[in-house]
Amino acid sequence: MYFIALLILVVHLGASTTFARPGQPPIVHTGLGSIRGAILESRLGRQFYAFRGIRYANAPVGQLRFQPPQPVDAWNGTLDATEDGPMCPQPALDQSDVSEDCLRLNVYSSVIPGENVRIAPRDVLVYLHPGGFYVFSGQSKNNAGPQNLMDQDVVLVTINYRLGSLGFMSTGTKDCPGNAGFKDQVMALKWVRDHISAFGGRSDSVTLMGYSAGALSNTLHMVSPMSKGLFHRVIVMSASGVSQVQIPTDQIHLAQKQATLLNCTTADIAEMVDCLREKPASDFADTLADMFVLSWNPVLLWTAVVEPDFGQERFLTEDPTESFLKGDFVKVPVIAGITQDEFAGPAVSFLRNDTLRNELDTNFDKLAPVLFLYDDYPNRLNITRQLREKFLGDEPLSLNRSLQGLNYLFADSLIGFAVHRFVQLVSPHTPVYQYKFSYVGRYSFFYYPDDRTPYGAVHHDDLLYLLSIPSVAPIFNATDPESKTVERLTGMWTAFAKSG
């Protein structure tokens, strides 16, 4: 096992930029049709090409809802890919930016092949976004801006995949076998394999980079028979698919809960799924909050499932832990790690809210197994009492007394244990570079409520130095104190994408 020290200076690898048609909107030609993009500017002023909102699968609507994605049809003329496509259905302030026709991806490259232009193909980073499998997207304007990484010599791909019940509902029957969102990711990776050369990328050098739900996805791709041969390195940031959660063959209880919320029958599974296919996609987004037990918990509600065999191509054929234990996985180089303070936000939110704090205090035996993801364990009551004694003690919960312990409980149960277990399982078989991100800049996903200073290096904070997330932080210029961390992190990640 190898360890990355985040304080080691990484030499910035600059390069000149070659444009196929200087100053003009770029057009690439793929086997599906021609695509027009836009010219954008990186964090340090380097021009690059952006092709956004490209369909990689047909819209999963009507009878295709809850089913595996279907390859996108070829088109005539030139596809306009100058703006982001819509997010997959989720609660959003701007519902005009949300659509079930959301299976889109973005491609960014500072060089593309052109007439009389010869370039050396570049390594590819494919980013799978976080969001618990129910929110966020690969859009450049919201959660996955390319400006930081485009100062490096790499081709970046960001994707959307179906979310919530639309992406991960599973009934254990052929009506809805599950894992549709993961199969979307596989379809996107096949698109990259088949078409990334048109954008200057190497189809034989693809690195999966995922955060939280995206990282969990990446570890599952390592054991999925559907994903073999589609990637060559993996970056696992703050999650994995081998946690204390036991992977089921279905989540029929969630399907039935969704059906009840949308006034569909639960007596007959086929009729229930047919009814849910007829509901507007917005209904699923509008009822998302009601799917959770308490205040958007458990954070990991939908999971992968080990699909029963109905003759379909299955994303998972056995529990991922079993696959890793047997050494039955794609043995590629791995980066894996966590942030220093991970899930401080939920801990503070519970402790500062009198209602939530009292609810957790009074019903800890009932709620802890749900919040900390061991509700299906037969000895959960004994586990709960040990956790309470170890992390929180017998005194009533309070912000000052309980914050550190509750933070550790959330961080270890949702992130830390899963990443540690993943590293232990794969490191005997393949190189693993493990890290802990502890840099605290001026911006964060979570601040102390009283003085608006960052709590620490919390969940998602390291993303601010890899991608542009305008709702949380500006794009850092060369003189900002965060600039060196941007250079180091993007430099290390892209160096790994090139050589492992």
Q: Using an 8 Å Cβ cutoff, are 192 and 203 in contact?
A: yes
SS3 219: helix
**Which of these, 212, 153, 148, 103, lies nearest to 469 by C-alpha position?**
148
H/E element, 104? strand 104-109
164: left (phi over 0), alpha (psi -120 to 50) or beta: left
**Which of these, 384, 485, 5, 430, lies nearest to 222 by C-alpha position?**
430
The yes-or-no answer on residue 212 being catalytic is yes
Helix ranges (H only) for 327-413 are 344-352, 354-362, 364-371, 380-387, 399-411
Q: Which two tokens stand for residue 129?
A: 């976004």
The yes-or-no answer on residue 459 being catalytic is yes
The catalytically annotated residue of 140, 170, 212, 468 is: 212
End-to-end CA distance of the chain: 13
Q: Please report the sign of the dihedral spanned by the C-alpha atoms of residue 307, residue 311, residue 313, residue 319.
A: positive
**Which of these, 149, 70, 64, 65, lies nearest to 107 by C-alpha position?**
149
How far is C-alpha 358 from the geometric centre of its chain's CA atoms? Answer: 32
Q: Using an 8 Å Cβ cutoff, are 152 and 490 in contact?
A: yes
Q: Which two tokens stand for residue 396?
A: 């009533």
CA atoms within 13 A on the CB side of 47: 16
**Which of these, 249, 362, 246, lies nearest to 310 by C-alpha position?**
249
Angle at 407 between CA 406 and CA 412, to 5 degrees: 100
Cα 472 to Cα 126: distance, rounded to the nearest angstrom: 22
Within 10 A of 410 (CB to CB), how many other CB atoms are there? 23
SS3 60: coil
The catalytically annotated residue of 342, 402, 460, 487 is: 342
Q: Which two tokens stand for residue 116?
A: 């009389």
80: left (phi over 0), alpha (psi -120 to 50) or beta: beta
The catalytically annotated residue of 129, 232, 459, 460 is: 459
Residues with a catalytic annotation lie at: 212, 342, 459
